[in-house]
Amino acid sequence: MIKPVGCFVGAFLTIFAAATASAQSTKSVSPPLPPPAPSAATNTDPQDVDVAYGAFQRGLYLTAFNEATKRAQQNDPAAMTLLGELYAQGLGVGRDDSKAAQWYKLAAAKGDRDALFALAMFNFQGRAGPRNLEEAARLLDAAAKLGHAGAAYDLGLLYLQGQQFPQDFRRAGELFAAAAEAGNAEAQYALATMYKEGRGVPKDPGKAMRLMQQASIAGNLDAMVEFAIAQFNGEGTAKDEAAAARLFLKAAHLGSPIAQNRLARILMAGRGMPADPTEAVKWHLIAKAGGSGDPELDVFVSKQTQAVRDAAEKAARKWLSTAIARRP
């Protein structure tokens, strides 16, 4: 059996912590680009309605700025939000948090949920003014009520942690469920963990694993590892060691030290994929470099031939140097 990892409280209290280069990426400092929305202008050609967003997506930021400015002058809140994003990231214009906040506020006043979320992030981060956690929480609540999945997820974290609100697992579960239904992978993982532990929702291992699988497919690295462990052991889902091994391999390449350790054990034992001492030692060394040591694998390494150890160390060094080179 491959042992499960993590615990309920730790899984969430570290959700925003800075990760190592081998861990899951944290949230971007800038708020996300809002999805294209119809212009509020009455005389806009429908064929040109998404020109600003199309230019943004192609990296034509000055064009995006000019087109969004035209639409903003016609009271289009989505264009105002895009202008805020351009100023927030310094794309096509000089970075200016004050101007970004001004555009976000104009769009938020018109009920744009993406602008409300962006302003919440600004307040959390202390951009364009002192940090204001109470105002950030209020803005998250407003954006969540308008159906913003990211806002619902972040608001759920606040209820879970009992920071700006009294701790309320049930309310956190409701918010995670709304965000998960909208396809937010982090919320799917969070809700899966709640169902797994029976916190705020009835304990339901099967539902937990269905959500964990959805989050895994959507690219949540923690969910990949958790679901692979469950799949390998047949806990809450059908046992499939080969599928679990493939998922561990994917997560290992994405930089999870836990997945790298589990993959090394699989390659050592030959369960789910053929045994391969060199690969097993390689992944053990990589996992160990990432902080996931394993005394049993240390013993396994000591029993290998010098040729196997040398080949594994060379492969591990190459993998680690490539991973460092790819760091943002």
Query: Is the model's pLDDT at 157 over the cut of 90?
Result: yes
> In angstroms, what CA-CA distances link 38 with 46, 54, 72, 193, 256?
8, 13, 12, 37, 41
In this structure, of 45-49, 100-104, 308-312, the range with the lowest mean pLDDT score is 45-49
Cα four-point dihedral sign 197, 202, 206, 209 = negative
Of 86, 118, 150, which closes a domain?
A: 118
Compare 195 and 10 and report the one with higher pLDDT: 195
Q: How many domains does the chain have?
A: 2
Q: Kindly report each contact of residues 184-188 with a partner whose C-beta sits within 8 Å and lies 24 or more positions away, as own/partner.
A: 184/149, 184/150, 184/152, 184/153, 185/214, 185/215, 185/218, 185/219, 185/220, 185/223, 186/15, 186/153, 186/215, 186/220, 187/149, 187/152, 187/153, 187/156, 188/212, 188/214, 188/215, 188/218, 188/220, 188/223
Contact (Cβ atoms closer than 8 angstroms) between residue 82 and residue 31: no
Query: For residue 203, what are the contacts with CB-CB under 8 A and spacing of at least 6?
Result: 195, 196, 197
Residue 24 has pLDDT above 50, yes or no: no
CA dihedral sign of residues 281, 285, 291, 293: positive
- Whether 106 is covered by a domain: the verdict is yes
pLDDT of residue 325: 76
Worst-scoring range by mean pLDDT, 6-20, 132-146, 173-187?
6-20
pLDDT tens-digit series, residues 229-261: 999 999 999 999 999 999 999 999 999 999 999
Instruction: State the Cα–Cα distance between residues 119 and 212, nearest whole angstrom.
Output: 30
Task: Name the least confident of 2-6, 129-133, 208-212.
Answer: 2-6
**Is residue 247, in this structure, part of any structural domain at all?**
no
**Among 19-23, 69-73, 247-251, where is mean pLDDT lowest?**
19-23
Q: How far apart are CA 282 and CA 271, in angstroms?
A: 17
Could you tell me what percent of the chain has a pLDDT over 90? 80
Q: Are 60 and 93 in contact (CB under 8 A)?
A: no
pLDDT for residue 229:
97
In a domain, 211, yes or no: no
Domain-ending residue, one of 70, 101, 118: 118
Helix (H, G, I), strand (E, B) or coil at 248: helix
Classify residue 153: in a domain, yes or no.
no
219 located within any domain? no
The CA-atom distances, in angstroms, between 224 and each of 19, 86, 209, 210, 220 are 17, 33, 11, 12, 6
pLDDT at 274 > cutoff 90: yes
Distance CA 277, CA 304 (A): 8
**Least confident interval from 1-10, 195-204, 265-274:** 1-10
In a domain, 269, yes or no: yes
The pLDDT of residue 328 is above 70: no
Judged against a pLDDT cut of 50, whether residue 31 lies above it is answered with no
Question: What is the reported pLDDT for 123?
Answer: 96
Query: Within a domain: residue 2?
Result: no
Phi, psi of 270, deg, nearest 5? 70, 40
Query: In 3D, which of 112, 166, 100, 172 has the Cα closest to residue 139?
Result: 112
Structure tokens at 146: 């308008």
pLDDT at position 3: 54
First and final C-alpha spacing in the chain: 36
Contact 79, 52 (CB under 8 A): yes
Domain boundary among 82, 102, 118: 118
**Do the domain assignments include residue 234?**
no
Selection from 222, 225, 227, 221 nearest residue 208 by Cα: 227
Average pLDDT, the chain: 86
User: Which pTM does this prediction carry?
Assistant: 0.78
Q: Which domain holds residue 314?
A: 259-328
pLDDT at position 10 over 50: no
Structure-block tokens of residue 281? 């030692």
